[in-house]
Amino acid sequence: MPSAAINQALWYRRFGPPAEALALEASDIPPLDPGRVRVQMTAAPINPSDLIPITGAYRHRVVPPRVAGHEGCGVVVESADPRLLGRRVLPLRGEGTWQSFVQADPEWTIPVPDEIPDDLAARAYINPLAALLMLEAWPPAGRRVLLTAAGSTCARLLGAWALESGAREVLAVHRSPAHAESLAALGLTPIREDDPKLAAAASIADLAFDAVGGRLAARLLAEMPRRGDLVSYGLLSGEPFLPTPAGPTVHRFHLRDRLEGVSADAWRGWFESLWPRLRTATIPSVRPFPIEYWREALASFDESGRSSKPIFRFAEVDPGPTPP
């Protein structure tokens, strides 16, 4: 690692709207903590799960000051183990990833296969792992599946992988008309959120994955068969909802709950299952932004009907020859 390297990091030192609470700060690189590796980041995406904590929605467990960002890809540039130097990894479950350099526990870093490009590897955690674990917990084979926020990456993966797993049909509820064509290309049945046919679609869906909550979730519960299951894995509306006594069973899914107590072997096994799926997955393209243009990246994220994922790009790293 160059001795003159500077770390640029997006910090939030208070709660608030991300565009107001975040600040790009530059600092010297501190000494590497014992037992850690230093990863020079190459790419890190923007997800709702990155932005929501900044607002204070999870203030009971997330306390500033913190560097934002939960996932990304980089190259090991400093390690006590020379075999790790130059390896591309996902430096997860540690420091925030919206910064030039991340210290990570090598036990929880995930090696990236050579054929997986950075922009895909950087997005391999939050959405793909959530989709994989939800489909394992609520198998879709033989069921009609309904998705909300269907234009999102997680919902697209849920839909495509549900069909691969034997779902009878996947009904994809979306808000922007820009998403209809691409959802249909995945084999999903697109339905506008404001379409009067939504009630009929819900009435035949016996498994729903909902990322919106609020009035939309309540409407689905009122229409779905009583024997059905609704899995709530997000609250994009910012509004809670209550299960209906005579409605389908409501399940809550939070990725962080599945991470508690998981072994390092199981953690790595999840990604070994994910890489083959991601090689053939159809997910949105990326729109890259240098970290210095973080405000423009946030504005891009908020665009209605956007078809690409804003992603921070950092200075390129020459990993050199792969260690044996």
Q: For the domain that residue 51 is a member of, what is the CATH number?
A: 3.90.180.10
| Token pair for 11 | 């910090």
CB neighbour class for 134 (10 Å; exposed up to 12, middle 13-18, buried from 19):
buried
What is the per-residue pLDDT for 320?
A: 54
Identify whether 263 is part of a domain: no
CATH of the domain at 244: 3.40.50.720
Say if 54 falls within a structural domain: yes
At 324 the pLDDT is 46
User: Residue 97 pLDDT > 90, yes or no?
Assistant: yes
Residues 246 and 303 in one domain: no
pTM of the model: 0.91
What range defines the domain where residue 42 resides?
A: 6-123+283-313
**Torsion (CA) 90, 93, 96, 98 in degrees, nearest 10:** 20
**Comparison of pLDDT for 214 and 1, the residue scoring more:** 214
Does the residue 243 lie in any domain? yes
Whether residue 159 sits in one domain with residue 91: no
245 in the same domain as 205: yes
Residues 155 and 68 in one domain: no
- pLDDT single digits (tens) 254-313: 999 999 999 999 999 999 999 999 999 988 899 999 999 999 999 999 998 788 999 999
Averaged pLDDT score across all residues of the chain: 93
- 111 with 217, same domain: the answer is no
- For residue 136, is it within any domain? yes
If asked whether residues 182 and 221 sit together in one domain, one would say: yes
Does some domain include residue 277? no
Among 118-122, 291-295, 315-319, which is the least confidently predicted range? 315-319
The predicted model gives 98-116 an average pLDDT of: 96
**For residue 294, how many C-alpha atoms fall within 13 Å in the half-sphere facing its CB?**
24
Same domain assignment for residues 13 and 118: yes
| Pairing relationship of beta strands 37-45 and 73-78 according to DSSP bridges | antiparallel
My answer on whether 288 and 240 are in the same domain is no
The answer, yes or no, to whether residue 57 has pLDDT greater than 90, is no
Reported confidence tier of residue 319, pLDDT bands at 50, 70, 90: low
What's the structural domain count of the chain? 2
Q: What is the pLDDT of residues 33-44, one digit of tens each?
A: 999 999 999 999
Length of the chain: 324
Answer whether residue 272 is part of any domain.
Answer: no
Residue 68 lies in a domain: yes
Identify whether the C-beta of residue 186 lies closer than 8 Å to the C-beta of residue 160.
yes
Out of 256, 271, 305, pick the residue that ends a domain.
Answer: 256
State the pLDDT at residue 1: 57
Q: Is pLDDT above 90 for 222?
A: yes
Average pLDDT over residues 235-254: 90
For 85, the token pair is 């130097």
State residue 262 phi and psi, 5-degree precision: -70, 140
Question: Is position 323 within any domain?
Answer: no
pLDDT on residue 307: 82
Q: Where does a domain end: 240, 256, 272? A: 256
What is the per-residue pLDDT for 323?
A: 47
The answer on 248 and 201 residing in a single domain is yes
The tens digit of pLDDT for each residue in 172-213 reads 999 988 889 999 999 999 999 999 999 999 999 999 999 999
Shared domain for 145 and 180, answered yes or no, is yes
Alpha-carbon distance values, 109 to 38, 103, 149 (Å): 11, 10, 30
189 lies in the same domain as 210: yes
What percentage of the chain has pLDDT greater than the value 90? Answer: 84
**What does the alpha-carbon distance between residue 99 and residue 207 come to, in Å, rounded to a whole number?**
39
Mean pLDDT of 227-247: 91
Same domain, 162 and 246: yes
Please, which residues have CB within 8 angstroms of residue 257's CB and are 6 or more apart in sequence? none
Percent of the chain's residues with pLDDT above 70: 96
